[in-house]
Amino acid sequence: MNRLIWFRKDLRIQDNPALCEAVKHGASRAVFISTPAQWKRHDLAPIQANLIQRHLEQLRCQLKSYGISLTHLKASRYDDQLTTLASYCQCNDIDTVYVNQQLELDETVRDEQVSRYNLNLVSFSSETIVPLGDIVNKQGDMFKVFTPFKKAWLAYVQRHGVKVEKPPNFLTSVHSNNDSVNVTFDYPNVDSSHWPLSETVLNQVVPRFFEKKLHRYEQQRDLPALKGTSGLSPYLAIGAINSRYLANELILHSPDVLYDLHHPHFSWLNELIWRDFYKHLLFHYPNLIKGNCFQKKYQQLNWPNNPAFFKAWCEGKTGYPLVDAAMRQLLHTGWMHNRLRMVVASFLTKHLLIDWRWGERFFMQHLIDGDFSANNGGWQWAAGTGCDAQPYFRIFNPITQSEKFDSQGEFIRKFLPELSDVPSKHIHFPHIYLEKTSQAEKYWPAIVKHKQARLDALAFYQVASL
């Protein structure tokens, strides 16, 4: 009998335990099964689908070095994936399938059903730096606040280190075969070519980040006009690069980072810990994927959900420049700076009183780095319905956020050319200036007033908090 590796959100050679085991046991075939109907149901962004396409072609070339052919199979939904997989395995005399686990609910249910098709599924956990379920409090439960989770996470990694699978050795001779991959998805397509492939990222971008940008990360990561972040989130989202690999590289580069919270490189490690935190949350609370609020008291909030407000937010026409520029960045590039994700999410939920689930879905439909656990965790954090030590009464002021993190308006002018001539001291809320200079038609009015919106939000949430 033969063996097979089934790639899903693990499109990589580096730190891929399923691939290592498959190579060890002589597997010569691999598959990727696209499911456009399921992707649509899960709001997969077309730009992320394109990034997946491009990485499949890269993976096909890389797998040749191991004598493994990659075949692209087409299905519609996850149920069809299993019948498609079973048919392929039957035709090729395959009885064992190697996979890396997926955390989300539909994916977990799908994998549990593989045995019905007389296939042996051998699965590995590699999606988090610390294995899922290995960090719990004294009562054996998941931490409900980030800070104690972080302390436990650091203690675990200090004791156990970070396990990373090295790429398997190339074969000395590679046998040719007739299988080929047709990387064409029956799915909407948005070009992602301005994002390099992961092989280039690992060989050039990551080393350059550690060498030239990491020491400035803490000071620059919140400034959207600068390229101060690592830019690795799209690759983490599709599994083209793994967080374990990045954490291990950071520890090798800065061994003290695990023991000093004030280490200049700790703030980047902290972002990786946040990523683990949200995935561990989803592991312990799988109902989060069903749209449930983590804090149950907010589940029945009667959101006003003004459609006109939501449309203005989606189009970047709220009248608050930093919010509008951030939404334009998302619409034009498929990505948004992390600080701005918090600002626009707070604005949608706290200023406009629109259900966080509406924003969560819109993000997934457009983000090249859309990842359910991080996206859900971030939206519930902003909405005050999730795991947070400071719940509903944290309301970002979009004007002061703009003054603090885009003081000269460089980011605003880039994505809002309508305001290119507005002086910096007026750029953050330009309405009075534009009226005085007879240019009011250049920019749309603010759809809400900040002070009143804040009071309305407090009153709205307090009803559920009594």
Positions marked active-site: 271, 274, 303, 338, 356, 379
Q: Give the confidence band of 176 by pLDDT, cuts at 50, 70, 90.
A: very low
Residue 121's beta-bridge partner residues? 97
434/305 same-domain check: yes
On whether residue 291 sits in a domain, the answer given is no
Angle, nearest 10°, between helix axes 356-366 and 372-383? 150
The enclosing domain of 141 has a CATH number of 1.25.40.80
On whether residue 238 sits in a domain, the answer given is yes
Q: Tell me the mean pLDDT in the region 117-142.
A: 94
- pTM for the full model? 0.95
On whether residue 431 sits in a domain, the answer given is yes
Domain residue limits at 443:
296-465
Domain count, the chain: 3
On whether residue 52 sits in a domain, the answer given is yes
269/314 same-domain check: no
Q: Give the confidence band of 178 by pLDDT, cuts at 50, 70, 90.
A: very low
36/147 same-domain check: no
234/261 same-domain check: yes
322/273 same-domain check: no
157/96 same-domain check: no
pLDDT tens, residue by residue, 321-331 = 999 999 999 99
382/274 same-domain check: no
Q: Tell me the mean pLDDT in the region 164-177.
A: 68
249/314 same-domain check: no
pLDDT tens, residue by residue, 5-21 = 999 999 999 999 999 99
Q: Of 66, 95, 124, which marks where a domain is finished?
A: 124
Q: Indicate whether 175 pLDDT > 80.
A: no
Give the DSSP letter string of 393-417. Answer: T----HHHHHHHHSTT-HHHHHH-G
What percentage of the chain exceeds 90 in pLDDT? Answer: 89
The enclosing domain of 323 has a CATH number of 1.10.579.10
Q: Of 241, 262, 284, which marks where a domain is finished?
A: 284
244/367 same-domain check: no
Q: Of 65, 98, 124, which marks where a domain is finished?
A: 124
How many beta carbons lie within 10 A of that of residue 297, not counting itself? 11
> Which candidate, 405, 336, 386, places its Cα nearest to that of 365?
336
Long-range contacts from 81-89, C-beta under 8 angstroms, 24+ separation: 81/33, 81/35, 81/110, 82/110, 82/113, 82/114, 82/116, 82/117, 83/117, 84/33, 85/6, 85/31, 85/33, 85/114, 85/117, 85/119, 86/117, 86/118, 86/119, 88/31, 89/4, 89/117, 89/119
pLDDT at 274: 97
205/269 same-domain check: yes
The number of helix segments (H) and strand segments (E) in the chain equals 21, 5
Structure tokens at 283: 């592991």
Q: Indicate whether 174 pLDDT > 60.
A: no
Angle, nearest 10°, between helix axes 372-383 and 338-346? 50
pLDDT at 79: 85
How high does pLDDT run on average in the chain? 94
Q: Give the confidence band of 383 by pLDDT, cuts at 50, 70, 90.
A: very high
320/397 same-domain check: yes
